[in-house]
Amino acid sequence: MPETLFQKVWNRHVVKATDEATLLYIDLHLIHEVTSPQAFDGLRLARRKVRRPDLTIATVDHNVPTENQLDIREPMSRRQVETLRDNCKEFGLTLFDVHGGRQGIVHVIGPELGLTLPGTTIVCGDSHTSTHGAFGALAFGIGTSEVEHVLATQTLWQGRRPTSFGIEVRGKLAPGLEPKDIILAIIRQIGTGGATGTVVEYYGPAIEALSMEGRLTICNMSIEAGARAGLIAPDDTTIQYIATGNRPFAPQGAALEMAIADWRTLKTDDPSAFDRHVVLEADKIAPQVTWGTNPAMTVDVTGRVPEPDKVPFASSEDARRALDYMGLTPGTPITEIPVDVVFIGSCTNGRIEDLRTAAKVLRGRKVAESVRALIVPGSEQVRHQAEAEGLDAVFREAGAEWRESGCSMCLAMNPDKLTPKQRSASTSNRNFEGRQGPGGRTHLVSPAMAAAAAVAGHFVDVRPMLAQGN
């Protein structure tokens, strides 16, 4: 019987299986300040220890102010960050704290430090843990009770094994198009619940052509289609990334050779092993812009705000509520929607390639007077790399704000927020009501499209801008 990559990784982590539940071993547990305090409290109450401190890594990201990481003025945010510091000390865990050189969004630092490895299981109390699947790791988000369970046992109970869902992306992305456009196009096609109960594997020429950064963007948003996890089979690009970068936690020497030999076996034997399968043609994808309040409410930049009775996966009532919240009139061309704030960053698009793309658009251009543009590196390492390449100067000269690393305006848990009715072009992952601040209106786009909107003051097709250069 041919097996999928997902089944192979799952099978090698089964500690115990009953008819309807499986105890899975967890190879890496990432922790941040928001979803862990109650788990540590639980351990203390039961007088339990962390079973494997060496497989548990913590950082602070959600609450960290990006103007000055050291200056957390909001008392509740400060308390949450300090609680994590205290817990890491008490339980003997490695914490990558601000200004230590390795802090960043948990899903950005895992890969760049060489913690994220093919064939492993990775969990974190954060739904975007699916990001790490780009390396062929089975990675998924968990709740706080499960965080406590993993801390105490290094395992996790899973119910019925998810099914395998193959998403094949054929062809080649046209210039000006980005991985973000692929994943938005996928969610638009299958809906926000389209992959519930499944583990998605992305494959095909358009996926293989992507860098690790691009693959991370795709897997990151798997959860926005309801998937338990998203996977991409490891290949030369993956191995190159781990073996040649500065990855302090990755295996070295003989251990690395052994690991590589193993990673080469990690692929789906035959697409017939997938329980379900869809195909997308990359050549046909145009730059994507969300208009509504979930990531499936997406159209081409050349399109218009839809009529409420023509919205896939939503009742006309749901669609009307979304239009009303977003303050949009059906029939409005997307390129006539003005933006107030541009946010480039997050675990979806806060990596070095994303910043290079944004810089390509902004070089020699100016952010429109009416727009506030925030550019937020996903980690301290990304920030240092960008500064070494002079990207920060490009951003500043264009009139954008160059910030310190953190989750920033993705989720309104730190000072970077939209005010009510403010409209953003955002490279993050969720356009839910209030996600970027109460009453804020979020449109999800790629970094290139966000940078283009910053210059134009409204949404605009970035393709001609990139073609004409500066």
Residues 189, 225 contacting (CB under 8 angstroms): no
Tokens standing for 431?
Answer: 């356009």
Shortest separation between residue 43's beta carbon and another protein, angstroms? 9
Question: 153 or 211, CB closer to another protein?
Answer: 153
Shortest separation between residue 209's beta carbon and another protein, angstroms? 28
Question: 360 or 443, CB closer to another protein?
Answer: 443
Phi-psi group of 284: left, alpha or beta (phi > 0 → left; psi -120 to 50 → alpha; rest → beta): alpha
Shortest separation between residue 464's beta carbon and another protein, angstroms? 35
Shortest separation between residue 92's beta carbon and another protein, angstroms? 13
Shortest separation between residue 197's beta carbon and another protein, angstroms? 5
Question: 32 or 215, CB closer to another protein?
Answer: 32
Question: 255 or 279, CB closer to another protein?
Answer: 255
The CA distances from residue 386 to 134, 247, 383, 393, in Å, are 22, 18, 5, 9
Question: 32 or 458, CB closer to another protein?
Answer: 32
Question: 6 or 395, CB closer to another protein?
Answer: 6
Residue 331 CB burial class (10 angstroms; 0-12, 13-18, ≥19):
exposed
CA distance 151 to 359: 41
Shortest separation between residue 349's beta carbon and another protein, angstroms? 18
User: What residues pair up with 444 in beta bridges, in sequence order?
Assistant: 426
Shortest separation between residue 138's beta carbon and another protein, angstroms? 13
Give the residue from 78, 82, 75, 31 showing the smallest Cα distance to 53.
31
Long-range contacts of 39-43 (CB under 8 A, 24+ apart): 39/125, 39/144, 39/145, 39/147, 39/148, 39/151, 40/83, 40/87, 40/90, 40/91, 40/148, 40/151, 42/145, 42/148, 43/91, 43/148, 43/151, 43/152
Question: 167 or 314, CB closer to another protein?
Answer: 314
Shortest separation between residue 98's beta carbon and another protein, angstroms? 17
Question: 360 or 430, CB closer to another protein?
Answer: 430
User: What residues pair up with 138 in beta bridges, in sequence order?
Assistant: 121
CA distance 428 to 387: 22
CA distance 368 to 39: 46
Residues 235, 208 contacting (CB under 8 angstroms): yes
Shortest separation between residue 399's beta carbon and another protein, angstroms? 29
Question: 290 or 357, CB closer to another protein?
Answer: 290
Q: Which residues of 353-385 are buried (b: 16+ CB within 10 A; e: fewer)?
A: bbbbbbbbbbbebebbeebbbbbbbbbbbbbeb
Residues 140, 231 contacting (CB under 8 angstroms): no
